Amino acid sequence: MYYPTCQPYQSCHIPLTQCVTQQQCMVQTTQPDINGAIINEREQLRMQLMELEDRYHIDIEELKINLLSESERILQKSLNELVQQYEPQIHQKDSQINILTQKLQAAETTLQQVQSENQKLKEVVFKKKDKIKYYKQEMENQNNFHIQKLNEQEQFWRERLNKELNQQKQILLQEFQFEKKSLEDQIYKLKSQLAQFDEKYQQILFELEKIKQQLQEKTHECEEWKTKCRRLEHMESIKPQTLDHSPSRDRILESRIEQLEREIRVKDAKLAKKKDKVQTVIQHVPQQVIVEKPIERIIEIEKIVPVERIIRERVPARQPIVVQQQIQKKVESESEDEELIEEIRILKRKIVELQQVIANLKIQLEDSQNDRDDLQRNYEILLAKVRQLEDLLRSRNRELQDKVSSLQHVKKDEDKIIVHVNQGKNKTSHVVKR
C-alpha cells in the first residue's frame, strides 16, 4: 500500500491522502488527461486575448491620431476661409488709404503754395495777432469739443462691444452647462445599470452555490447507494443460501429502483439541457477558461476647461478560472456579464474621448473668435483713422477754397486788403488799410 504520486493536473480521481494499492492506482490513472488539454487550451486562449488587447490599443491610438488630424484640417480650412473673406476688404481699405494719401499730398502742395502767398501778408497778420490768438483759442475749444465727442462715441462703442461679448459668453456658458448636465445624466444612468448588473450577478452566484450544494448532496446520496449496492452484492456472493426470497422486499427494491431510474432520467434531461446551453455559449465564449478583464479604477479627476478629463489606472487581471463540467451555468452567466461590462467600459471610454475632443474644439473655437475680434477691432481702428483723415482733408479743402475765393474777390485797391476770418459758421470780413 502506498500513496499515489500522480501529477496535480492528471485526471486521477483518488485523493492524495487516500492509501491504495499500486494496481488500483494504475487502473484509475489510465484515464485520458483532460485537464492537460484544458491547460493547453487555456494558454492558447490567454495568448490570443493578449494579442487582441494589443490590437485594440493600437486601433484606439490610430483613431485618436485620425481625429486630431481631421480637427486640424477643419480648423485650417476655416482659418483659410476667414483669411480669404477679410483679405479683399483689407486690400480695398489699403487702396482707399493710398487714394486719401495722394489727395492729402496734393492738398499739402496747394497748402505750401498758399503759405508762400501768405508769407507776403505777414505784416498784416502781425498787426492782427491779438484777433488771431482769440480765434486760435476758439479753434482749440472746438477741437477739445470734438475730441470729447469722439471719446464719448468710443466709450459708447466699447460698452456696446463689452455687452455683446458678455452675452456671447453667457450663451456659451449655458450651452456648456446643458451639455455637462446631459453627460452627467448619462453617467448616472450607466451607474444605475451597473448597480442593477451587480445585483443580478450576486443573485446568479447565490443560485449557482445553491445548485452546487444540491448537486453535492445528490452525489453523496448516490455514493451511499452505490456502497449499499456493493455491500448487498458482496453479501449475496458470499452467502447466497442464507438469503430468503421475500416478495415484499422485492417490491420495495423494485419501487426504489424505479424511483432511482426516474431521478436518473430527470438528471440526465437536466444535464442534456445544460450541455445544450453550454454548446450554444461555446460558439461565442471559451468553454473551459474564463480570463478576468483588467479593472479600471478612477484615481484622479483633472479639470480641463470646459470639461473634466478622467485619468484611470489599469489593474492587471487575476489568475484564470478553470471551469469544471458541473458549473457550466456559471460560464454562461459570467460570459454574458463580461460582455455587458466590456460594452459599458467601451461606452465610457468613448464618452471620455468625445468630451476631450469637444473641449479641444471649444478651445480652438474661442481662439478663432478672439482672432476674429482682434481683426474686427483693428478694422474699426483703421476705419476711424480713415474717417479722421477724411474729415481733416475736408476741413483743409474748405479752408483752402475759402482762401482762394477771398483772394479772387479782392478789389484792386492798393491801399486796402480784405482779410476773411473763419469763425465756425459765421464769417466776418475786415478791411485793413496799408
Q: If you count DSSP H runs as helices and E runs as strands, how many of each does the chain have, helices first?
A: 6, 6
Percent of the chain with pLDDT over 90: 0
Tell me the pLDDT of the chain averaged across its residues: 69
Query: What DSSP line would sit under 17-80, residue for residue?
Result: T--B-HHHHHHHT-S--HHHHHHHHHHHHHHHHHHHHHHHHHHHHHHHHHHHHHHHHHHHHHHH
- 162 pLDDT tier (thresholds 50, 70, 90): confident
Cell numbers found for residue 98: 493710398
pLDDT over 70, % of the chain: 53
Residues 332-382 pLDDT 10s: 555 556 666 676 666 667 666 666 766 776 787 777 778 777 777 877 777
pLDDT digits over 224-279, tens only?
Answer: 776 766 666 666 655 444 434 445 655 665 666 666 667 667 766 776 776 677 66
Per-residue pLDDT, averaged over 387-409, amounts to 74
Determine the Cα angle at 163 with ends 162 and 169, to 5°: 85
Distance of alpha carbon 256 from its chain centroid, rounded?
Answer: 69
* Between 93 and 297, residue with greater pLDDT: 93
The confidence score (pLDDT) of residue 372 equals 74
pLDDT at 2: 39
Give residue-wise pLDDT tens across range 319-331.
544 444 444 455 5
How far is 342 from 293, CA to CA, in rounded Å? 8
Q: Compare 76 and 32 and report the one with higher pLDDT.
A: 76
Taking phi first (over 0 means left), then psi (-120 to 50 degrees means alpha), and beta for anything else, what does residue 300 get? beta
- Round to whole Å and give the CA distance between 175 and 183: 12
Interatomic CA distance for residues 227 and 215, integer angstroms: 18
Structural domain spans, the chain = 145-240
CA distance linking residue 173 with residue 279, whole number of Å = 55
